[in-house]
Structure 1
């Protein structure tokens, strides 16, 4: 028995429940109706997601100008995507364009064709509230020089250019087709930041140093170039996480004069991962072989809810990833049981563990194989977190050293998070 692979669509940008701006009354004449763009702006302002200093840029670069005719809105409650085509459903398209929800614009790195959703979403327009909150967190100032990693539709770069001026914005996109689209969309609203097609891990040294770097893709390891190309005192804002889960946490790092960077996690979110840092679930097929083989067997009373399973953006899931490094984990749900799998990502290792939760039973069967006892590590990490008073995600932070070592900490950089890896 080999465990089922990981989530079919890892890295989708999910950041909470799908929320629509207030509907405009149909009792008014069309010419007296507030535009969908204005309704979205008012909704974001009222929610505190859009700050007044970004309002003018928001009007200069409307979201709809950066969307293709065919989009796939993602329903975060149902976990499904569906096609909406402006050419056949212009009203539905406009409604979705101004809804506070993520929209996929590309599947399977551009190899997908047809209106049906593809296998893996690989480029999207993020939730407007996520975009505007991140821009507020970026804390720009007049004349700030900004590098964006992950151009996507070009909307975020458009907002930056409208606020700071074209000369102060560089945006990097790995996909040539996506970059070409973004450049055209930016031009359609009179904006022309420097759109560069290359692997975003290398930044854009030709125009460094930058005052701010903003990353719109999930990161598992900070490339050295991002810190090196940011001036001392500058900020790097990025969704960061571990391969323990698909979730990210937004971290704001301040770059120091010695080439290190440190800062707190602000809040949970989820982005599509950098293409070079995606997790290949097929690599774990060789870990298990004949199941359960020579695995040791034990029992636990830990519940799925204790581990934050089945609920989006649980602090404990993020903390387990910090405390149990180099561990990938996935949940397989059957008719009457749920199996959690844990795999050692260390090169050459085949260590794994599983925990089987059967409906209606309190006893959980745990199996572990290999020199690294992954379940034991997860259990010890859970106990540590509880012993610390179950601290929230925003009490944690991250330091990236000049040689690229990532050191998570709790409350203060001098208080490192323990690693329970064997």
Structure 2
């Protein structure tokens, strides 16, 4: 690919982001000045939309394809299994996010010239370099837990001409010596907003983070404003995302066999008229399963493959060994349900669906989160009407 071709690819990406509202006019100069390709390693694993999987591309072998992916609106994996191998592994553990997600989050962060920004999760360093373009490199501090990833990010930023302070530590601990910050942004997902982030962000400052429950991988960015007491923060969810979690919050799952030790034997059996479509929906990030996770605490669900016209959906309680299974069958008017353990997990899920329907089937835009010394509380429309999550 020629240099003209590379520039054409970036121009087309920028045009697409602008048309979709992900890239706003105040971020155009930063987009033009800081290309994602400058921060990617030679070997990458971009997500291929056609095959629905991550593919391996090496700059030395396929430069044209490498730049095509670098300038496409797809996530790019840059590390597997916390760096324990050199090739593709089992679990993606570091990446460069989709440009549309990056610029949507930067838009929601609402940074101004001169703001001091704390970034949690340096990754390739691209996001930090974009921030430095807006607020000045001396005002950006980034934290990365992985030694190799942190070193590569420092090298990327220095080679690009924007050397940045990258602290190697657990981002959940924040940066108290450097506080207070005007903005804190996390590029790793959380299930609980660390108190340190509230502590390190000034009253009136903003925290932007991908947040989700154990129920599914459907997360949403939450935009929290720190209250005058400096101990609490509250705000609304701004849109759907899916991020790798902070290492401390990945959440280990014991596995199906640890719960269902005797098959369906001994479980209580009932039936439900809730349909597969009502529970699962068909489109990605509709918000339904996100809401279910907000209403059914400490629960994980898994959707099995359809076989012989039947699809089981499993629910596992994370505080004990409670489980439930609903078996949806093609053409069935009722679906059998099995439940075991002290929690009636399917009853909780069914009640959450009833609540969602009764509330007008709310999406992300009506939901919010408040965090503080007493924990986390979600709310619908008004923070005064909240529940623990």
Do they superpose with TM above 0.5?
yes
Equivalent residue runs for 1:199-348 within 5 Å = 199-258=170-229, 259-282=231-254, 285-336=257-308, 337-346=310-319
* Higher normalized contact order (CA 8 Å, seq sep 6+, divided by chain length): 1
Give 1 or 2: higher strand fraction.
2
- Structure 1 residue aligned with 2:86: 113
Q: Is the 8 A contact 1:104 1:123 kept in 2?
A: yes
Could you tell me how far 1:288 is from its partner in structure 2? Answer: 1.6
Change over 3 Å in CA distance of 1:228–1:285 after alignment to 2: farther
Q: Is the 8 A contact 2:219 2:242 kept in 1?
A: yes
Moved more, 283-292 or 224-233: 283-292
CA–CA distance in structure 1, aligned partners of residues 238 and 3 of structure 2: 41
Could you tell me how far 1:338 is from its partner in structure 2? Answer: 1.4
RMSD: 1.9
Q: Is the 8 A contact 1:168 1:193 kept in 2?
A: no
Question: How far does the alpha carbon of each residue in 1:126-159 deviate from its partner, in whole angstroms, 9 at most, with x for none?
Answer: 0001101111110011110000001111100010
Could you tell me how far 1:39 is from its partner in structure 2? Answer: 2.7
Indicate the SS of the match to 1:87: coil
Using structure 2 for the length normalisation, give the TM-score. 0.95
CA–CA distance in structure 2, aligned partners of residues 76 and 269 of structure 1: 17
CA–CA distance in structure 1, aligned partners of residues 369 and 166 of structure 2: 30
Gaps of 5+ in 2: none
- Is 1:395 aligned to residue 366 of structure 2? yes
Indicate the SS of the match to 1:290: strand
Could you tell me how far 1:388 is from its partner in structure 2? Answer: 1.4
- Is 1:65 aligned to residue 35 of structure 2? no
Q: Is the 8 A contact 1:60 1:189 kept in 2?
A: no
Change over 3 Å in CA distance of 1:31–1:291 after alignment to 2: closer
CA–CA distance in structure 1, aligned partners of residues 279 and 340 of structure 2: 21
Question: How far does the alpha carbon of each residue in 1:230-262 deviate from its partner, in whole angstroms, 9 at most, with x for none?
Answer: 100000000111000011111100000221110
Could you tell me how far 1:281 is from its partner in structure 2? Answer: 2.4
- Structure 2 residue aligned with 1:415: 385
Change over 3 Å in CA distance of 1:395–1:31 after alignment to 2: closer
Could you tell me how far 1:287 is from its partner in structure 2? Answer: 1.8
CA–CA distance in structure 2, aligned partners of residues 56 and 362 of structure 1: 57
Could you tell me how far 1:76 is from its partner in structure 2? Answer: 4.5
Question: How far does the alpha carbon of each residue in 1:301-334 deviate from its partner, in whole angstroms, 9 at most, with x for none?
Answer: 2112111355311221011111111111111114
CA–CA distance in structure 2, aligned partners of residues 330 and 31 of structure 1: 47
Equivalent residue runs for 1:123-138 within 5 Å = 123-138=94-109
Could you tell me how far 1:46 is from its partner in structure 2? Answer: 2.7
Question: How far does the alpha carbon of each residue in 1:165-206 deviate from its partner, in whole angstroms, 9 at most, with x for none?
Answer: 111001111111111111111111110221111111001111
- Structure 2 residue aligned with 1:18: none
**Aligned length in residues:** 387
Indicate the SS of the match to 2:37: helix
- Is 1:122 aligned to residue 93 of structure 2? yes
> Which of 162, 167, 170 is the equivalent residue of 1:191?
162
Could you tell me how far 1:34 is from its partner in structure 2? Answer: 4.8
CA–CA distance in structure 2, aligned partners of residues 191 and 146 of structure 1: 15
- Is 1:154 aligned to residue 125 of structure 2? yes
CA–CA distance in structure 2, aligned partners of residues 122 and 31 of structure 1: 33
Q: Is the 8 A contact 1:235 1:255 kept in 2?
A: yes
Gaps of 5+ in 1: 1-25
Change over 3 Å in CA distance of 1:130–1:375 after alignment to 2: same
Could you tell me how far 1:38 is from its partner in structure 2? Answer: 2.7
Moved more, 30-39 or 183-192: 30-39
Indicate the SS of the match to 1:180: helix
